[in-house]
Amino acid sequence: MVEAIRFRDDEPHEEPAGSMDSFLDQSNATAVRIEAGEDVRQLLPYLERLALIEVDFPAFGDGRGYSAAQILREQGYTGELRASGDVLVDQLAYMRRCGFDSFAPEKPIDPEVMERSLGRYENIYQGTTDQRSPIWKLRHG
Amino acid sequence: MYQYDKYDQQMVDTRVEEFRDQVKRRLAGEITEDQFKPLRLMNGLYLQLHAYMLRVAIPYGTLNGKQMRMLAHIARKYDRDYGHFTTRQNIQYNWIKLEDAPDLLAELASVEMHAIQTSGNCIRNISSDQFAGAAADEIADPRPWAEILRQWSSFHPEFSYLPRKFKIAVIASDTDRAAMKLHDIGIQLVHNDAGELGAKFFVGGGMGRTPMIAPEIRDFVPADELISYAEACLRVYNRYGRRDNKYKARIKILVHELGKDEYTRQVEEEFAHMKELGLNPPVEELARITEYFADPAFDLDASDDLDLSDPDFAIWVDQNIDTHKQSGYAIATISLKPRGGIPGDASSAQIDLMADLAEQYSFDELRVTHSQNIVLPHVKKSDLYALWQKLDEAGLAPANLDLITDSIACPGLDYCSLANARSIPLAQKISEKFADQGRQKELGELKLKISGCINACGHHHAGHIGILGVDRKGTENYQLLLGGSAAEDTSLAKITGPGFTEDGVIEAIETVTDLYLQEKQGDERFIDTYRRVGMEKFKEAIYG
């Protein structure tokens, strides 16, 4: 595990993220890690309390985590949302668009390639929780 | 037809640069083939048996002469002087070098074309009715809706790593020319009681190993909620579609396992929330796009008279011409199924010629059909004879639209790394066997579809007669299916029994077509007789 890449200004959260089960068993935990396939909506009652949600990608082709992130942000979660596991540089831009703001990739990511990749597309076609204006909005004001 | 604005152009140009960068990293060994695979797949580049295959998107099958000419140029410069039109209205090139791919994509981008999401587990090219904007029976042109969906689905961050590929078709008439109910999402444009145009949604159709006909899950989605409803359908699938088994990963399995009602309930629940998120473009965006699809400047005084004194021309008109919404005009289908030819293949010279003819006779528009033919949608009837003569000279005037030799075939074992058997040589032999015009005509509408493996790219489940190539102890073996349809009376074909050798399956086809002619009542098509008579009688005839 390499150090997390963060796109947040606040200090990294100290509490380690435990499993969904152990989180639901506790009344004061502020960090949780969810596995692909776990229903992120179970966390909705606790979003106020949560400061770190880590979403695991067991394989880069397993895209469930993108929907998990979108649902959390749609429901107003503002804490750190971290993608971990098989997170590759070419997936980062879409992850950012779905609301992830930190990354804990299994294998290191070349910062130069990352920068190029994240800055590449000036515009986007569809709305997501990142609040960027889709092209249709630019067309119609 | 649609034209890119600066935003659309910038998107495809950026994609070319992104892919150039990815190819460079791959060639430099910075990323492994495993890591590169999803990136190239998202861009239509497959590693096949002998070389890379590139699939270029032709959104909803519509293109102009300039774009068509570019397809010929690419075949000439980067491939072996031909291209293959596919069952999803795209074109494939079979002999592409990886290092050439970025330049090729840049050339495509210069004519507003791309290969974005023509493969991979993402939302693929949106397909549509090849007669859109010309058909006499449509309630609206479906292509503006398809274009809205194209833009929405391009580079979709949430739905680019789905359990499996995802195909959407949009039609706007009761006659289904796009196999709509055999798509992951099939959309039919309809009017509600208030006379507003909206979308009827069918979800969970598909072919492959487990063919399913999509059930209707909503009878009306308003234009300004189209995207949020599609998002809801996709999100339920992305979260709950199976990822443990590639062969059970399509949305049809999810809809089937949950049941249509439970899947619909989950979609509606998600939709109730998603429609509040501001995901839908305003109706002005649909209006903006619709303007591009306005009727061309038809000559309103054009005559319906047609001189049919040349008998060969008369046969072609009878078979390959469809009714146009504008009097004095016709829809002409150019068959890419010449006698003994490879279904869907066209040479660079033929592609160039079709581009010229579109410019000259069809308001600069062409369509690709899911049956692997090309359509000139708006031809003045008084120009048909001149058009036919030019097509005939180039070997592009087979008069066999919807007849037995107008077969669909996948690339099969000649090209494809998944295939178990060859499809193309079989299609060629059948084409020779039934070449006699009188014999084909007597058999009437007969959709023959050949797949070289269980993945069903040749649509064998939807053939009036379907053929499935399998591997039987190391030799190619062909199963025969009967009774499928991809039209509005969608049905799935059933296997007759034990498979055959290549020659054996051709004999079996002759047996079933002979039986049809014997049993036929009145105007019945093959499929009608089969449905009335039933499988047993056909089985008896085949296996005795």
Query: Strand order of the sheet with strand B52-56?
Result: B45-47, B52-56, B91-96, B82-85, B345-347
Say how far apart CA B31 and CA B39 lie, in whole Å.
11
Q: What values do phi and psi take at B368, rounded to 5?
A: -105, 140
Q: Are B233 and B247 in contact (CB under 8 A)?
A: no
For position B34, what pLDDT does the model report?
85
For position A2, what pLDDT does the model report?
52
Q: Where do the CATH 3.30.70.3340 domains begin and end in chain B?
A: 311-393
Q: What is the mean pLDDT of residues B13-17?
A: 96
Question: Nearest-CA residue of chain B relative to A113?
Answer: B21
For position B359, what pLDDT does the model report?
98
- A chain contacts of residue B35, beta-carbon cutoff 8 Å: 60, 88, 90
CA distances from B539 to A44, A55, B443, B508, B534 (A): 59, 55, 19, 10, 9
For position B41, what pLDDT does the model report?
84
CA distances from B489 to A8, A134, B119, B319, B322 (A): 56, 39, 29, 21, 20
For position B46, what pLDDT does the model report?
86
Residue B48: pLDDT above 80? no
Question: Which parts of chain A sit beneath pLDDT 50?
Answer: 1
pLDDT in tens, B491-515: 999 999 999 999 999 999 999 999 9
For position B43, what pLDDT does the model report?
86
Query: Strand order of the sheet with strand B374-380?
Result: B62-63, B366-368, B374-380, B329-334, B321-323
Nearest CA-CA distance, residue B392 and chain A, Å: 44
Residue B448: pLDDT above 60? yes
In CATH, what number is assigned to the domain containing residue A128?
3.40.50
- A chain contacts of residue B39, beta-carbon cutoff 8 Å: 90
Q: Where do the CATH 3.30.413.10 domains begin and end in chain B?
A: 142-289, 408-543
Question: Nearest-CA residue of chain A relative to B242?
Answer: A37
Q: What long-range pairs does B194-201 form, CB within 8 A, spacing at least 24?
A: B196/B222, B196/B223, B197/B139, B197/B140, B197/B223, B198/B222, B198/B223, B199/B145, B199/B170, B199/B223, B199/B226, B199/B229, B201/B229, B201/B233
Closest Cβ opposite residue A62 in set B21, B156, B161: B161
Q: In chain B, positions 473-532, which contact chain A (CB-CB < 8 Å)?
A: none
Nearest CA-CA distance, residue A69 and chain B, Å: 9
Inspect the interface and report whether the beta carbons of B7 and A135 lie closer than 8 Å. yes
* 3-class SS of residue B529: helix
Q: Both ends of chain B: CA-CA distance in Å?
A: 54
* Amino acid, single-letter form, for residue B207: M
CB-based contact, B301 to chain A, within 8 Å: no
Say how far apart CA B443 and CA B227 lie, in whole Å.
44
Residue B442: pLDDT above 80? yes
Closest Cβ opposite residue B238 in set A61, A63, A94: A63
For position A1, what pLDDT does the model report?
47
pLDDT in tens, B301-346: 999 999 999 999 999 999 999 999 999 999 999 999 999 999 999 9
User: Would you state the structure tokens that stand for residue B482, as one six-digit string?
Assistant: 């009967």
Q: What is the mean pLDDT of residues B386-397?
A: 97
- B chain contacts of residue A98, beta-carbon cutoff 8 Å: 157-158
Domain holding A29, by residue range, is 5-140
Which pLDDT band holds residue B74 (cuts at 50, 70, 90)?
very high
Considering chain B, what percentage of its residues have pLDDT values greater than 70? 100
Element (H, E) at A136: helix A135-140
Looking at domain B408-543, its CATH class is: alpha beta
| ipTM over cut 0.90 | yes
Q: Are B337 and B406 in contact (CB under 8 A)?
A: yes
| Domain B311-393 fold | Alpha-Beta Plaits (3.30.70)
* Amino acid, single-letter form, for residue B25: R
Question: Nearest-CA residue of chain A relative to B165?
Answer: A61
Q: Are B448 and B430 in contact (CB under 8 A)?
A: yes
pLDDT in tens, B116-129: 999 999 999 999 99
Q: What is the mean pLDDT of residues B414-419?
A: 88
| Domain B6-109 fold | Sulfite Reductase Hemoprotein; domain 2 (3.90.480)
Q: What is the CATH number of domain B142-289?
A: 3.30.413.10
For position B161, what pLDDT does the model report?
96
For position B415, what pLDDT does the model report?
85
Inspect the interface and report whether the beta carbons of A60 and B38 lie closer than 8 Å. yes
Query: Strand order of the sheet with strand A80-85?
Result: A5-6, A102-105, A80-85, A52-57, A31-34, A18-19
CA distances from B504 to B434, B447, B474 (A): 15, 19, 17
Residue B537: pLDDT above 50? yes
Nearest CA-CA distance, residue B289 and chain A, Å: 11
Closest Cβ opposite residue A116 in set B10, B21, B160: B21
CB-based contact, B191 to chain A, within 8 Å: no
Q: Which residues contact B380 (CB under 8 A, 6 or more apart)?
A: B299, B302, B328, B329, B330, B361
Task: Count up the domains in chain A and report the number.
Answer: 1
Inspect the interface and report whether the beta carbons of B14 and A122 lie closer than 8 Å. yes
